[in-house]
Structure 1
Amino acid sequence: MKLINKSMLTVIISLSTASVYYAQQTQDTVDTRSRDIEQVVITGIADVAKDRKTPVAVSTIKAAQIVERLGNQEFPEILNTTPSVYTTKGGGGFGDSRINLRGFANENIAVMVNGMPVNDMENGQVYWSNWAGISDVTSAMQTQRGLGSSKLAIASVGGTINIFTRAADKKREGTVSLGLGNDGYHKTLFAYNTGKSEKGWSTSFLMSRTAGAMYFDGSDFEAYNYYLAVGYKPNEKHDFQFTFTGAPQWHNQNFTNTIETYLDMGDGKLDKVKAGDPNRKYNSNWGTLNGEQFTTNRNFYSKPIMSFNWDWKISEKSKLSTVGYGSFGRGGGTGFLGRINGKQIFDASFKDANGQIRWDDIVAWNQGVNVGGGFGAVNPTPGQAFRTIGTTYNDNTGRGIVRRSHINSHNWYGLLSNFNHKLSDELNFSVGIDARYYYGYHPGVITDFLGNRSYVETGDFNTRPAGTIITGSQAPTPSANPFAAAIKDDSQIASRNYDGEVLWYGGFGQLEYSKNDFTAFVQGAISNQGFQRIDNWIIDGVTVQSGQTVNRKTGFKNIAGYNLKAGANYNLDMNHNVFGNIGYISRQPFFNGVYPNNRQVVNPNLTNEKIFSAELGYGYRSSNLRANVNLFRTTWKDRFQRRTGLTIPQASGPAITQAYAEVNGITQVHYGAEFDATYSIGKYVDLEAMFSWGDYRYQGDAEGTVYDDNNNPVILTSGTNVTKLNLDNVKVGDAAQITAALGATFKPVKGLRINANWRWVDQLYARFDVTAFDSSIQTATYTPPALEKGALRLPSYNLFDVGASYKFELGGRQSLTLGANVYNLFDTTYISEATTNNHTDLKASNFTGTPAQQATALANYNAQGTWKGIHQSNQVYFGFGRTWAANITFHF
């Protein structure tokens, strides 16, 4: 018996078409409750948790469920009925979804594809739009909550999401698929697998295109997915695979607005929403330019990946698996530079009665036309936008607006190797290395001059005071060339110009014991991360930051980290088992924690984050019923966080806008209980149930240092730029702390499947916001600090989804499958996220100023009103209303 898979396989994405037609073939026979995952995927470097053996809390979703239920939802949303998981669509743009696991956000969840960690090496994020095609090729997805079974020194604070794909050596078959959905969504896909030849060769190929719009206005997108895999297995000892895949895409985005704005846009405007209801489709980021959709914020990216994997079965007791891989990310996201008479792009003066941005008028003003309507004085320098400098430099001159893009490209190379040896019938030992090198490129470029002929960039210390005249632009679309340069012209950089370099190397080992009904393991990993920041606008030995003379290159700052984990499982009998695990992680901070406030100076308070986790679990298995109960507790200390978009009131003069705070020393404690079960009523009905309860809180207070958008310290009312954050016992936001779900799948006749699902979300709090817990700083939309109120609790909500599919057998291997899904069947209006903590029932003392000013502020605040008990000044995302998707798939 084995505790965790003993071998290591493809670490980079072996994205195969097999899962698409695998799901079609097994639609009527798949047991979604729990077959050993090794029957469904080929395991390798991916550390697969085995039922009644691996002592971790785990949930597995098979390919059939993904194909049957995902439709046009975001890929992480398939996990929404998993205990302690909360996923949302984020702003709702294509691929902008977010996930929280046991109260920990996306960057603190290790996401693995066939064992390869794919979290960004600078900030830990996983951008799901970069993996838009992964749902097409997934054979199974396993969520390991808590420590997880991975041996690598990865950032699994909340847990690990393992995505498994199939190799290129499956039988000959293919798939053609067409999908349609609301708001013009459409998808086409072709996949083919040659199968393995007599000489051991095999090839898989996939190509798909997805385009249309999402639920909200101004949300056009286009995405492609391509995959090629070549496998060669000359004998039983050696197995080779080469893979190459990519998913270039662009999509328009959406940001939060106040509830009041959504309500204003709902009273007979745009979609003619019934008076009193918010317009959930409203998007403040877009308008039309020359009759075409144009947005402030577009994301565009292409992340092609290639790998070469070698599995070597040395003997019956030993195996070595090695993979080398490379990733070449190219793309970024748009925003704006400059102002019009001191006003930024989102100023209400620049919008029409429908809340859309007046792009044509902005172009005209940039060219010297008096457009009126709140734009103010005519442009003093038509055709040339400026960034000017004084004691500090900024974009506040009012000499025009241009759209820019912040590029976030990278080259990433890695090598993973694992040696596994069976010491005896009971003991198994494995040891390996994990080496990675990452170079990130972060320049800025102009994407649209909006009628200007040029933009004068004076942020470069090497070209001050005259600056650099930028006349070239770069379209915000991904290149068809997977190896394209990060930018087209190094002389045309605007807004910023820095690089990040990360060097990672480490080792790991594990000892497993398994005898009869008892299994146990102990494992450890150690790693070193070297960080270097390169600012290409710095003059070596001349530029001063934070009182220090700095250089273009900081030199590497090396930080060691490690983890230790142990666990055991005991099968009491054929039906019952119990398990426990415990672990400690010393995790290196992210890149912006090493070099805070965007400078070349190392954080003087730099320290590793410390995570301690413990868990107990119980499982029951019978022929019809499977149930699990888990108890967990995780403590996370010395956490670093940056909060942007702050407005700092001054004793005299205008407030400082767009400031940010660097927060150190945050501690969180998360504990809770989870239950999930499946029950089969004969062969015609499968039932599923889930309930999770958590208590996620901050423990103790923290300190933050505040800077303006030019990285200068902002002096607060305390006389310093250091502020105390009153966080003790405040609820952690951005993740539902109570969730429940009930689901049923009906199979009345062969080939027909009908599914229905209900999901309930409660104790959901607004996102962490340092401005809600300190009286010295505030956001532009939030004046009252309301220190005693804590995090804002959002209304609970219920959602219902339904779907059906029918498979027509056409003889041989050929079949035709029709499917359809409706999400949010009853069109429930609900808040999925909030980014502010503006409470009701405030007092005059919650506001600043004289007693008379406080009284007036309170009266004005109360006059704004509430929506479902939530103050209308809060910035929120509303969840999508009723949406639908349908597909037809031919398998041959």
Structure 2
Amino acid sequence: MRILFFFFGLIQAAAFAQLPTKPILLKSKNQWVDSNLDKDGWKYFQDQYTNESTLTEGDEEVPFIPSLLQSGKDLFSALTGFSFSIRRFRMKGLSNRYFSQSIHEISMNQLSDGNIPWANWGGLNEVTSNNQYATGLKDNEFQFGALGNAVFMQLNASKLFPQTTVTLNLSNRNYHQRIAFTKVWSESKNGWSFASSIAYKQGVGGQLKANEFKGFSYFLSIDKRLRNHLFSLVLLGNSQMNTRTAAITEELAGLAASKQYQPGWGLQANKIRNANWQFNHQPMILFSHEYNLHEKIKQISTLLLSSGEKYTTALDWYNAADPRPDYYRYLPSFFTDSLLAQDVLSQIQLNPSQLQINWDHLYWINQNSSSDKRARYLLEDRVERNKKIALNTRYRIQLNNRLLISFQGQYRKEVYTYFKRINDLLGAKYSINWNQFAEDNLPNSTAIQNDLNHPNQIIRVGDSFGYHYAMHLSQWLIMSQAVYTMPKFDLNAAIEYTSTYYQREGKYRNGVFPQNSFGLSEPNYFNNGQIKMGITYKLNGRNYYYFRTAFSSKPPLVNDLYISPRINSLKQLDISNEWAFMVEAGYILNAPKLKITANAYWIRINNAMDVMSFYHDGYRNLVNYNISNIGTQMMGLEWSMAYTLFGGVTFNAAMSVGKYVYHNRPNYSVMADNEPYISEKGVLYIDQFPITGLPHLAIYNGLAYRSNSNLFLNLSSSYMGNQWLSFNPIRRTYDAAQNLPIHLDAEQIARPSSLPNAFILDFSAGYSCRIKKFKDGSAYYLQFFLGVNNLLNQSIITGGYEQLRFDIPGGDINKFPNKYYYSPGTLYSLSIKTKL
């Protein structure tokens, strides 16, 4: 901390010690540019700057080199952002909480899980592309930033490009048609600006037989400029309903003769019906105010209000057979008797419908298993409702031509309410709010009651059941940063402090945990901070070298703090703040024909936490694996290049190579949902185990052609390797390594499951033409864009996981084989846009 304050003091002392400077005149193509222009005005001339430019200080002439100004994506992100996404690539191997997104400077990262809810503004491509990016620890104007990257979205009507566009998209992805209309008016003479956009997306069938997608997006922005004030109102939202896909085993892909097999649907009255849906609608409204207090001081304030719901659907059953057709006990591989296995295989081959949900059979059981038609099967919604309020204020102070400082304060309050809701009783008349797992483990007791306050509650369609609780989360944040520009060096530093509050509120008094499930729990408070600083050496207007470092402390995510918040308020025993340390150094070349970026980094994260909940065959119950003291380390290199060859042809290349590992043995404990005690604990033997779920090696190459006639062509390839599946913790414990058969050893059990390397070929093309010109200079344009991914039509494994089951007595890792997600082959998207 002392180092940071010293750094801040050094910047400010240097600023106030400067003599008053004269306007700097920079010669470029016989034109002179005043350096007192806003920083963004320098970007156009950046490639022309060399040592010709000078700054007069006393009797000396010191070369003055412009700073790196970058409002769009850096070269590496621009080249790889889409191509690498098929394998769930994450920059620097970091988790989602180390990336940030804001709208009007309000953080969108959820306090509950750290994720960014991109779906909330999905479909509004024409307006949400007004972003600024800060990669890694680079300074930015708005916030502290993030270790991964930070995206800052500005949706003020007066800051959007005036346009009238109608867009039609045709695709064979999740949605097949999209139509959008966007209108952005120029600012009127009396200071009013308006912008609006609506979009509709839909798709049925296609490469996935049971696929269905419906989405409606809307956006409205109104600005009013009044002297030194800009008042803004923004409303946006996306109501979306779509089917979900599931991971499958290789055995299932073979039985169905298709890697696009999906078990979550079946025929009902000869019509396709899917059990796995997801819905999301969380609209938000923002009120913003910008006030120029002084020519060098600006205040920006924003209030956000949001309320909405999202849910996923799934089958649930009580005292009945598992209805899922991919349940492992229904497959040939489950049977050790070869004759039985062959018999099951023959039945599936003769009747492939066994691999789909038998909806008619579920209805028949519900209507005939009891005289009162109590539900044995039902379709449930797993609901998350949220309410959010946030207030942010930032002061931007340009003390002089060299020193820019800013101060930010932000308050966020988020309330998440979770419960299950009956979507469809599937022909039954009612159900009872009972816990069947407690009935099995604790018969003839009140433990069967999901809610002791309403015992034996009769529930019907629309009623909540199972669990019902709320999480109250809030956070205060203050931040300050400074950017100091010198002739050959740029310095930046930032500091941030947060105070975070978590508290659970139970709506049900659970029968297993009657004392600590209902009402408000004991709150938790966490105080955290982040600091970062960086220096950039400007050799000339084309060559830049930088070094940056940061320390970050974050509270545990609330979803990782509570063990089983569905039914009680118990928390992990080893609670601590998560902290990270990062250094990065790099080189940037911005020349007319050649652009290069190279960034080397080292990151160490300690004290992370996680909770994994799943059904455990040994316990015959839902269990919670509570993991603490997780340590990870990431080091690697990101490199990119764009070289203009000849005649509008550019060769692009990028590479990310890293080593991402766990650097210790985390602690774990196991608690079953219906047992009020820890049943086992120990350490996970994953030291030096690779971080899973993303490629550690990714390479991009591409040739792009752009002609003077507005034609664009791009052919690119991506190679991704060194990737491992999300792991099963049970296989990495002391118990799993004991009493193994002679032919097995612990290393075979613990070895990570790897994915095959992938090579992907993509193509894109764009063309723009003017179809009509008006006397006032405006014109109608017609734009086409075609993107084709996976040209070789490969069925690529995009991800997956080890099943959270393990044959401890036999040590057979193939008894519960890995599950994979497969790409659906070649995908295309054609966009046709008319623009005024």
TM-score (norm 2): 0.81
For the 8 Å contact 2:75–2:597, the answer to whether it is kept is no
Q: Does the 8 Å CA contact 1:822/1:882 hold for their aligned counterparts?
A: yes
Pick the aligned partner of 1:326 from 299, 305, 324. 305
2:834 is the alignment partner of 1:873: no
Task: Note if 1:516 corresponds to 2:487.
Answer: yes
The 5 Å alignment of 1:792-803 reads: 792-803=753-764
Question: In the alignment, residue 796 of structure 2 is paired with which amino acid?
Answer: Y
Instruction: Tell me how far 1:160 sits from its aligned partner.
Output: 2.8
How far did 1:612 drift? 0.5
CA distance in 2, matches of 1:722, 1:199: 69
- Other-structure match for 1:246: 237
2:404 to 413, 428, 431: 428
Aligned to 1:888: 832
> Residues 711 and 820 (structure 1 numbering): CA distance in 2 closer, same or farther, change over 3 Å?
farther
* From 776, 793, 796, the counterpart of 1:827: 793
Asked if the contact 2:717/2:759 (under 8 Å) is kept, the reply is yes
Equivalent residues in 2 for 1:665-704, closer than 5 Å:
665-682=629-646, 684-704=648-668
Q: In the alignment, is residue 119 of structure 1 matched against residue 109 of structure 2?
A: yes
Deviation track 1:405-461 (CA, whole Å, cap 9, x = no partner) reads 111111101111011223333322211201111111112210011111111003555
Q: Distance in 1 between matches of 2:289 and 2:66?
A: 30
Match of 1:725 in 2: 684
Query: Is residue 144–residue 481 contact of structure 2 (8 Å, CA) maintained in 1?
Result: no
Q: Residue 122 of structure 2 aligns with which residue?
A: 132
Change (3 A) 1:447 1:785: farther
Query: Which is greater in Rg?
Result: 2
Q: Which amino acid aligns with 1:167?
A: A
Q: CA RMSD in A?
A: 3.3
Taking the aligned partners of 1:806 and 1:847, their CA distance within structure 2 comes to 57
Deviation at 1:60, TM superposition (A): 3.6
1:506 aligns with 2:485: no
8 A contact 2:433–2:450 mirrored in 1: no
Quickly say closer, same or farther: Cα 1:805–1:549, change in 2 above 3 A: closer
1-structure distance, mates of 2:691, 2:41: 34
Residue equivalent to 1:591: 558
- AA in 2 matched with 1:588: P
Code of the residue aligned with 1:247 in structure 2: it is N
What is the CA–CA distance in structure 2 between the aligned matches of 1:766 and 1:757, rounded to whole Å? 26
Q: Confirm whether residue 290 of structure 1 aligns to residue 269 of structure 2.
A: yes
Mapping 1:444-593, distance limit 5 Å: 444-458=420-434, 462-463=451-452, 466-473=455-462, 492-538=463-509, 544=513, 549=516, 551-593=518-560
Residue in structure 1 matched with residue 378 of structure 2 by the alignment: 402
Which whole-Å deviations, capped at 9, do the CAs of 1:837-881 have from their partners, x for residues lacking one? Answer: 899xxxxxx9744xxx67xx58xx5xx9xxxxxxx9211111231
For 1:518 and 1:648, the matched residues in 2 are separated by 62
* Residue of structure 2 in register with 1:109 after alignment: 99
Separation (CA, whole Å) in 2 of partners of 1:889 and 1:701: 54
Distance in 2 (CA, whole Å) between partners of 1:299 and 1:380 is 32
1:325/1:413 contact within 8 Å kept? yes
Cα distance in structure 2, aligned partners of 1:772 and 1:108: 28
- The match for 1:640 is 609
Distance 1:172-1:80 versus aligned 2 partners, 3 A rule: closer
Name the SS for the 2:365 alignment partner.
Answer: helix
Shift of 1:333: 1.2
Identity of aligned residues (%): 17
Q: Does the 8 Å CA contact 2:694/2:723 hold for their aligned counterparts?
A: yes
Q: 1:126 to 1:553 in 2, by over 3 A?
A: same
Q: Is the 8 A contact 1:55 1:569 kept in 2?
A: no
Which one of the candidate residues 600, 603, 615 is aligned to 1:631?
600
Per the alignment, in what secondary structure is the counterpart of residue 495 of structure 1? strand
Pair 1:155–1:61, CA change in 2 (3 A): closer
Amino acid paired to 1:834: G
1:254 offset after TM fit, Å? 1.1
Greater displacement, 576-585 / 213-222: 213-222
Count of equivalent residues: 730
Answering whether residue 733 of structure 2 is matched by residue 735 of structure 1, we say: no
- CA deviations on 1:616-673 (whole Å, 9 max, x unpaired) are 1111121111101111011010011122325253xxxxx5243230100110000001
Q: Judge which range, 462-471 or 568-577, deviates more.
A: 462-471
Output the amino acid matched with 1:128. W
Cα deviation code 1:579-602 (max 9, x no counterpart): 011111110011123322222134
For residue 806 of structure 1, the aligned residue among 767, 774, 784 is: 767
**Among residues 586, 591, 605, which one is paired with 1:617 in the alignment?**
586
Q: Which moved more, 1:194-203 or 1:179-188?
A: 179-188
In the alignment, the residues of structure 1 paired with residue 397 and residue 304 of structure 2 have an alpha-carbon distance, to the nearest angstrom, of 25
Structure-2 residue corresponding to 1:660: 624
Q: 2:725 aligns with which of 752, 757, 766?
A: 766
Q: What residue identity is the alignment partner of 2:609?
A: F
**Aligned twin of 2:703:** 744
Amino acid at match of 2:793: D
| Alignment partners' CA distance in 1, 2:532 and 2:780 | 48
In structure 2, the residue matched to 1:375 is: none
Tell me, which stretches of 5 or more residues in structure 1 are unaligned? 4-34, 41-50, 63-77, 90-97, 267-278, 369-378, 386-399, 474-491, 650-654, 716-720, 840-845, 865-871
Instruction: Return the alpha-carbon distance in structure 1 between the equivalents of residues 823 and 139 of structure 2.
Output: 34
Q: Secondary structure at the match of 1:357?
A: coil
Paired with 1:286 and 1:37, the residues of 2 have a C-alpha distance of 56
The Cα shift of 1:746 comes to 1.3
How do 1:698-717 residues align onto structure 2 when only pairs under 5 Å count? Answer: 698-710=662-674, 712-713=676-677, 715=679
Deviation at 1:614, TM superposition (A): 0.5
- Which letter does structure 1 place at the counterpart of 2:575? L
**Closer, same or farther in 2 for the Cα pair 1:59/1:465, shift >3 Å?**
closer
> What is the match of residue 217 of structure 2?
225
Indicate conservation of the 8 Å contact 1:245/1:305, yes or no: yes
Task: For 2:509 and 2:210, locate their aligned partners in 1 and report how far apart those are by CA, in whole Å.
Answer: 39
Q: What corresponds to 2:287 in structure 1?
A: 308
What is the distance in 1 between the residues matched to 2:423 and 2:138? Answer: 43
User: What does residue 44 of structure 1 align with?
Assistant: none
Structure 2: tracts of 5 or more residues without a match: 1-7, 9-38, 45-64, 332-347, 436-448, 738-743, 774-778
Higher helix share: 2
Distance 2:551 2:512 in 1: 41
Q: Is the 8 A contact 2:507 2:518 kept in 1?
A: no
Q: 1:173 aligns with which of 163, 168, 171?
A: 163
Query: In 1, Cα distance between the equivalents of 2:263 and 2:612?
Result: 22
Deviation at 1:286, TM superposition (A): 1.2
1:796 alignment partner AA: N
Q: C-alpha displacement at 1:179, in angstroms?
A: 1.3
SS of structure 1 residue aligned to 2:791: coil
Question: Aligned in 2, Cα 1:891/1:304: closer, same or farther, shift over 3 Å?
Answer: same
Corresponding residue of 1:383:
373
Given residue 607 of structure 2, which amino acid in structure 1 is its aligned partner? D
Deviation (angstroms), 1:508:
0.6
Match status 1:337 vs 2:328: no
What code does the residue aligned with 2:666 have? A
